[in-house]
Amino acid sequence: MFSFLILFPSEQSIDNKSSNKTVNEKFKKPFLNIGRRHRAGFFDKISPLDFKVSLGADKERAVEEPPPTDDTLEDCSTSEEESIDSSMASVEIESAESEPVPDASTSSADFENQRHSNTSIHWRDFFRTRKKRQGVSSQGLPIKPKLTRRKKKRIKGDVVPQISSSLDAELSCFKSSWKNFSLSELREATDNFSRENLIGEGGYAEVYKGRLKDGKFVAIKRLTRGSPEEMTVDFLSELGIIVHVDHPNIAQLIGYGVDGGMHLVLQLSPHGSLASLLYGSKEKLNWCIRFKIALGAAEGLCYLHEGCQRRIIHKDIKPANILLSEDFDAQISDFGLSKWLPNQWTHHIVSKVEGTFGYLPPEFFLHGIVNEKTDVFAFGVVLLELVTGRQALDGSQKSLVMWANPLIRENKIEQLVDPSLGDDYDSDQLNRVLVLASICICPSEADRPRMSQACPFITHKISS
């Protein structure tokens, strides 16, 4: 079990009074104490006060906007069910309504008889019925049998083809330009999923480098988490997100494969991910490329939040999920944890921790809140990584945010900048990136900017 201690700067402590402060008041003390200094004193030129008008309006709107009621949630979930398939709708309903799930540690003969006689009841209605009936114990579900690893593999191999064959009708609504790859094609492209071609691995999927018959290099993501049914839901959910996305700063999906498993085939970025170049490469990125990546990631997030057909929350913004094109254009990838956020909702409530530690904001741990500001916080951490060359969590699990915050307040720029950069960077650009990062990682989500505000700020297009 992991335990987490979230510490915030004492000057930015959160209480009932601080929620009424404007960004002007919040940042006046840290930045006005900075006098005219040597070359490293960048904050004399620009400060977070440039956000005071737009962010002030956001905070007022956040205070006035009431949280969604149960009726609103019902209306939203109804509209979601009409626009996507039942599997994807169940994912949204589960995350939004946070229905309690009964414990499956014990069995009950009475409940087993009742369950077999009512197999047509929808799970959602079933849990609501159980919630109202006090006579049925929450321990009524049967015990989940423990299977050996070999038996799991055999069962998965028997069930996946049956489920995969039924996906053809489900996938007919997606883009016609996507190709449905066979398992033999994917095996040939990856040398039978050789470990030598494994370029990424996590709790949800494995990513392999491959080469198609036409010579095109691709990245093949193979889902590995959960039962075949769970993988099918995750697979359709991710495809349902990607089908609405079309932007230069979003990774391009070439096709998919449902033969023998769930596979996504994406265009392989020549330079890999930002993480591989920032931390794993001997040749360090120069400042011009880092600034270009910061701008591209900002524009990609702005598109997901406000320019797409639906409000999409990525939930896992980090250097490993920012791919780099041949020209070092940032491309956001991996929508396995992403969520749709209906216009009537202010946020999702999640009951389990999903994401990457070091990039998750305080409200996520405290209340399970997920919205656009979740991505904004993670984007601020990525900006700090671009400037400092440090990871979000170092080897001793120390947070980059906790390390950088006091240095930003004290304007100790030379201690913040990646030593590999030396003096070869644009002072004004670096200043803007640091100021934006300091606002994006604010403990209070109301004090963080929208991505539509971050993009013009980082490019010096602030409206007066």
Binding-site residues, please?
221
| Annotated binding residues for ATP | 221
Contact at 8 Å (CB) between 422 and 448?
A: no
Q: Chain centroid to CA 103: how far?
A: 28
Distance CA 405, CA 394 (A): 16
Cβ neighbours of 371 (radius 10 Å):
20
CA-closest candidate to residue 425, choices 452, 132, 202, 434? 434
Contact at 8 Å (CB) between 183 and 262?
A: no
Q: Which residue matches tokens 């491309």?
A: 331
CA-closest candidate to residue 241, choices 338, 321, 101, 127? 338
Angle at CA of residue 171, ends 168 and 174, nearest 5°: 150
Residue 143 main-chain phi, psi, to 5 deg: -70, 135
At 422, the amino acid letter reads G
Q: What is the residue-wise DSSP string for 160-223? A: HHHHHHTHHHHGGGS-TTSEE--HHHHHHHHTTT-GGGEEEE-SSEEEEEEE-TTS-EEEEEEE
Contact at 8 Å (CB) between 305 and 312?
A: yes
Distance CA 211, CA 261 (A): 19
CA-closest candidate to residue 267, choices 225, 329, 205? 329
Q: Which residue matches tokens 């990546």?
A: 293
- Three-class SS state of 322: strand
Adjacent-strand bridge partners of 263:
222, 257
Residue 223 main-chain phi, psi, to 5 deg: -70, 140
Contact at 8 Å (CB) between 330 and 455?
A: no
Q: Chain centroid to CA 269: how far?
A: 20
DSSP state of 219: E
Active site residues per annotation: 316
